[in-house]
């Protein structure tokens, strides 16, 4: 096989492993019932309202709609290779469904167990994102949309991502109000404490959402060096692979 083609296949295979971990993080956050990751909130709300379509399917649809935003922002700068986001989003969406199916047996009863699952979801997500970044292959539509806004507005990626995450949570809250008359999820709204402590079912926005907005970025300070070391050990010639 052509060395260049072999390198591309290797990078996409490694990036797909990263997607598995990120999808697992999303699944764990949903099972915790403390609130899911900001970028996954709208897809989860839509799934709760229309359960005939899976979370993964709605993830694909939401991510694909973001490509239209990129087209409007980038115009002539939008490259054909960016359409690979559709494939990445499809893989990611159905990996989420696969993880939810594999973890169908998991029913955390106590708040401590739910909190533990949410924290684990954040750590797993950080590890997966570190793998994706190191592979330099798949890039999901959410990150590409942040990059597009960052380029057009000439603002740093980090602050734009914070705004993007916040906007997705606001959109999810509005959808929850529209569908369920509850800004935090599908369950009956009683008190803020009940929602934050997962005392009601179907929580979309809660304590876990806050954790997953902050924890992965903080944990990547640890997971990035770990992934770099793992990549270094995998090099046959002792050098870190590209």
Torsion of CA 235, 128, 51, 48, to 10 degrees: -170
The reply to whether 240 falls in a domain is: no
pLDDT score for 233: 59
Q: What DSSP string runs through 45-96? A: HHHHH-TTS-HHHHHHHHHHHHHHHHHHHHGGG--GGGGHHHHHHHHHHHHH
Distance in angstroms (rounded) separating the CA atoms of residues 233 and 226:
11
Radius of gyration of the chain, Cα coordinates, nearest whole angstrom: 18
The answer to the question of residue 36 being in a domain is yes
Spell out a b/e string for 9-47, using b for 16 or more CB atoms within 10 Å of the CB, else e: eebbebbbebbbbbbbbbbbbbbbbbbbbbbbbbbbbbb
Written as six digits, the tokens of 171 are 């959109």
* Tokens representing residue 173 in the block: 């809250």
Question: Is the pLDDT confidence value at 241 over 50?
Answer: no
User: What pTM, to 2 d.p., does this model score?
Assistant: 0.85
Judge whether 187 lies within some domain.
Answer: yes
Distance CA 7, CA 27 (A): 30
Give pLDDT, residue 129.
85
Q: Model confidence over 210-238: pLDDT tens digits?
A: 888 888 878 888 888 888 887 775 544 43
Distance CA 238, CA 133 (A): 21
- Report in angstroms the alpha-carbon separations of 180 from 52, 146, 170, 214, 222: 17, 29, 15, 27, 39
What percentage of residues in the chain have a pLDDT greater than 90?
Answer: 38
Q: Using one digit for the tens of pLDDT, what is the confidence trace for 25-75? A: 999 999 999 989 898 999 999 999 999 999 999 999 999 999 999 999 998
- Residue-number span of the structural domain to which 218 is assigned: 3-234
pLDDT for 129-140, tens place per residue?
A: 888 878 877 778
Please report which confidence band the pLDDT of residue 105 belongs to, taking 50, 70 and 90 as the band edges.
Answer: very high
Evaluate whether residue 239 is within a structural domain: no
Q: Is the pLDDT reported for residue 144 higher than 80? A: yes
Residue 10 lies inside a defined structural domain of this protein? yes
pLDDT confidence bin for 82, thresholds 50/70/90: confident
Indicate whether 56 belongs to any domain: yes
- Is 161 within the bounds of a domain? yes
The total domain count for the chain is 1
227 is a domain residue: yes
């Amino acid at each position: 096989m052509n060395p260049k083609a072999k390198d591309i296949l290797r990078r996409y295979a490694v990036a797909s492993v990263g997607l598995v971990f990120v999808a697992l993080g999303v699944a764990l956050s949903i099972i915790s019932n403390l609130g899911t990751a900001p970028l996954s909130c709208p897809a989860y709300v839509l799934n709760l309202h229309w359960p005939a379509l899976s979370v993964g399917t709605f993830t694909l649809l939401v991510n694909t709609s973001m490509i239209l935003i990129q087209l409007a922002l980038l115009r002539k700068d939008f490259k054909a290779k960016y359409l690979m986001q559709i494939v990445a989003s499809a893989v990611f969406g159905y990996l989420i469904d696969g993880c939810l199916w594999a973890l169908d047996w998991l029913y955390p009863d106590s708040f401590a167990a739910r909190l533990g699952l949410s924290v684990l979801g954040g750590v797993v997500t950080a590890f997966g994102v570190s793998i994706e970044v190191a592979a330099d292959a798949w890039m999901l539509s959410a990150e590409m949309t942040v990059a597009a806004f960052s380029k057009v507005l000439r603002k740093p990626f980090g602050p734009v991502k914070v705004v993007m995450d916040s906007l997705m949570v606001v959109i999810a809250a509005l959808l929850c109000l529209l569908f369920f008359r509850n800004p935090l999820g599908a369950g009956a709204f009683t008190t803020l404490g009940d929602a934050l402590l997962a005392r009601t079912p179907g929580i979309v926005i809660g304590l876990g959402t806050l954790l997953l907005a902050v924890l992965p970025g903080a944990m990547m300070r640890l997971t990035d060096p770990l992934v770099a070391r793992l990549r270094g050990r995998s090099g046959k010639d002792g050098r870190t692979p590209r």
